[in-house]
Amino acid sequence: MRAGHGLVAVALATVALVGGCTSGAPTSLPSSTAKYTEPPLPAKVIPVLTDSPTPTAAPAQCGDPTASLRPSTAGGPTIDAIRARGRLVVGLDAGSNLFSFRDPTSGAIVGFDPDIAREVARDLLGSPDLIEYRTLGSADRERALQNREVDIVVKTMTINCERRQKVTFSTVYLRSNQRVLAMKNSGINGIADLAGKRVCIVRGTTSLDHMRHDQPAATILTVPTWADCLVVLQQRQVDAASTDDSILAGLAAQDPYTQVVGDSISVEPYGIGIPKGDDDLVRFVNSTLERVRNDGTWDRIYRQWLSVLGPSPGPPAPSYTD
């Protein structure tokens, strides 16, 4: 598998004894037992205690949040601007194994999400290579679209009513399920076993909201990237990680001592994020998604990157508002 280039190495801290010596005799060690020091946490880690969850407003309502505009290849102001620029600016994550990561041999960004973005560029600009990638954290996706720093976001972005208040979406291009990643033989077999446990989740994700609501007895550690979750799990600084099983499968592929466990916590429909008002681009992106569903491209991309999840379920059927 291209994504499985070895295990993620976890460095263990060692203590060096430095001292002067006035004779040839070896320095005696103190008789007391040395104390273990935990490895440092990744940068920008924030503990989120959920024992007393902060009340939140009722979820926004918008009918079917996955319904989008019907496909069309007709031009428009957004499409014309992208074609005049000569490249499609795509926001994604360059550190999610299987979904979007930098190939250690070629240096290219590869994975399921980049391949979907390349199909959009192929139809829009005539070449799948006319893309400029910009790496975004999960918490930065909506802001980047609102500020028009990117044309589209293709980054395991769940469609929901709250996000639709700020940005718009294509039709669903993949459905995933939030589950749990734990060490094998840890005794953790699902969300019920996370009471009193430490769970790693990336901030700015729907996974965080679901965990706080469905398992308030867990203590959550938030980090910038899912790769950080794998590191702190390997260091035993958390007991589990939780997000979409498609992302967790990429982490498990890097460490055979971990496994994805439990039933679905929530269904996560992924859409391509697009700035509000760019309806011509929404329709064009949906025309690409319609093509890849029908010509076998979606199945080919799935088999290349996500076969670890099992046989291809086939592309999600689209839902339209008009």
Mean pLDDT value of segment 2-12? 40
Neighbours of 151 (CB within 10 A): 30
Kindly indicate the confidence band of residue 235, based on its pLDDT and cuts at 50, 70 and 90.
Answer: very high
Q: Is the pLDDT of residue 166 over 50?
A: yes
3-state secondary structure at position 169? strand
Mean pLDDT value of segment 195-215? 93
Run of H or E residues at 290: helix 279-294
Give me 182's structure tokens: 């734990």
Closest CA to 177 of 92, 257, 248, 238: 248
DSSP 67-125: -BPPP-----HHHHHHHHHTSEEEEE-SEETTTEEE-TTT--EESHHHHHHHHHHHHHH
Closest CA to 91 of 51, 148, 53: 148
Closest CA to 204 of 261, 264, 143, 271: 143
Closest CA to 270 of 300, 292, 247: 247
Strand order in the sheet with 240-244: 46-49, 219-223, 198-202, 240-244, 167-183, 258-275, 152-153, 88-92, 131-135
- Phi, then psi, of 209 in degrees rounded to 5: -60, -45
Whether 176 contacts 245, CB under 8 Å: yes
Mean pLDDT value of segment 204-233? 92
Lookup result for tokens 């939030």? 178
Strand order in the sheet with 109-110: 95-96, 100-102, 109-110
- pLDDT for 44 equals 52
- pLDDT for 170 equals 98
Whether 159 contacts 249, CB under 8 Å: no
Closest CA to 91 of 156, 164, 45: 156
- pLDDT for 17 equals 35
Q: Is the pLDDT of residue 28 over 50?
A: no
Options 3.40.190.10, 3.90.1210.10, 1.10.240.10, 3.50.50.100; CATH for 46-52+61-309 is 3.40.190.10
> Judging by beta carbons within 10 Å of its beta carbon (0-12, 13-18, 19+), is residue 266 exposed, middle or buried?
middle
- Average of per-residue pLDDT values in the chain: 85
pLDDT tens digits, one per residue of 269-318: 999 999 999 999 999 999 999 999 999 999 999 999 999 888 999 999 99
Name the CA dihedral angle for 301, 307, 310, 314, rounded to a multiple of 10 degrees.
0
Whether 207 contacts 213, CB under 8 Å: no
3-state secondary structure at position 264? strand
Q: E strands within 154-196?
A: 167-183
